[in-house]
Amino acid sequence: MRLDEGSGKYIEDRRGQSVRGGGLGRRGLPLGIGGFLLLLVLSLVTGKDFLSLVGGGGGLPVDPGPASVPAGPVQETAEEAKSAQLVNAAVEDIQDNVWMRVLPGDYTPLTLVLFRGAVESACGVAESATGPFYCPADQKAYIDLSFYEELDRRFGAPGDFAQGYVLAHEIGHHVQNLLGIERRVRQLQQQRPDAANQLSVRMELQADCYAGIWGHSLAQRGQLDRSDIEEGLRAASAIGDDKLQKMATGRVQPESFTHGSSEQRMQWFSRGYETGRVDACDTFAAR
């Protein structure tokens, strides 16, 4: 994958800032590719099936009074610096060269917040184990760059485009928010709690498809090759609900899926990549 150097205009760096407080709350529910990772870690450590307890659009209780400690100087490893440069370039490319053109006049760029350990958002306070997420309440995406080490070491999905796919998925949630899809899904989940998980799966798969649209754009511009696409597919497969549940508990419970199976995630990413069209990503109309 070949990207121009990022200017930093969409980056908010809070890596030198520490946060005290509780977990993600319900002030505008967070959306994200890595939301299951916290429950996966808890399941692996305790032996209990925390994954089966989650419903569509969950969120953990929030401490009502988190406090932030002012940012200090940021010291980073060479690997972290490389990831920071990549997300800086990717967040600009995804927004300026894809969504600003696909949705002219309707797209407002988000800000990507870099953090370490924990971060305070309008959706509450999140720890790194939550994984990357998008907060509709403040229209920002959040990532601890150490997630990419987990994606490589624990889930076997290394590579620049795999990292970019994660970010493109979160920006896909921003697109859903701007188009009113996120709001309608939350309303339906409240009206039909029995369908909450299914609706969550469809929303996550649509964000995967939107990530594929970025891949399509890169390929059209000659900035992507087949090995990059394979990286994206590995990343999509690595964080399917079925694989995460199998890792955590040794069994798969499709009725508790909230993000989609590995096969579904790869399928919808591929659809976005092959078509490059928003209308091809209507997961809510699909069987």
Count CB-CB contacts under 10 A for residue 246.
13
Q: Which residue has the higher pLDDT, 22 or 264?
A: 264
What was the pLDDT predicted at 80? 92
User: In this predicted model, what pLDDT tens digit does every residue of 2-53 receive, in sequence order?
Assistant: 999 999 999 999 998 877 655 554 445 566 665 444 444 434 433 444 444 3
- Over residues 280-285, the mean pLDDT reads 95
H/E segment holding residue 231: helix 226-238
Residue 287 has pLDDT above 90, yes or no: no
Q: Are 24 and 30 in contact (CB under 8 A)?
A: yes
- Residues written for the chain: 287
What was the pLDDT predicted at 137? 93
Tokens of 129: 């184990």
Identify the burial level of 170 via C-beta atoms within 10 angstroms of its C-beta, where 0-12 means exposed, 13-18 middle and 19 or more buried. buried
C-alpha to C-alpha distance for 5 and 86, rounded to whole angstroms? 8
What was the pLDDT predicted at 47? 46
DSSP 158-202: -SHHHHHHHHHHHHHHHHHHHTTHHHHHHHHHHH-GGGHHHHHHH
Q: How confident is the model at residue 95 (pLDDT cuts 50, 70, 90)?
A: very high
What was the pLDDT predicted at 235? 73
Q: How confident is the model at residue 66 (pLDDT cuts 50, 70, 90)?
A: very low
Count CB-CB contacts under 10 A for residue 109.
17
C-alpha to C-alpha distance for 219 and 225, rounded to whole angstroms? 7
Q: How confident is the model at residue 262 (pLDDT cuts 50, 70, 90)?
A: confident
Tell which residue, 97, 126, 99, 118, has the closest CA to residue 15: 118
What was the pLDDT predicted at 171? 97
Tokens of 265: 């995630």
User: In this predicted model, what pLDDT tens digit does every residue of 191-201 receive, in sequence order?
Assistant: 999 888 888 88
User: In this predicted model, what pLDDT tens digit does every residue of 225-237 receive, in sequence order?
Assistant: 888 878 777 776 6
Tell which residue, 210, 202, 203, has the closest CA to residue 287: 202
If you ran DSSP here, which 8-state letter would residue 126 be given? E
H/E segment holding residue 141: strand 140-143
Domain ranges of the chain: 11-281
The phi, psi pair for 111, rounded to 5°, reads -110, 135
Q: How confident is the model at residue 71 (pLDDT cuts 50, 70, 90)?
A: low
Residue 73 has pLDDT above 70, yes or no: no
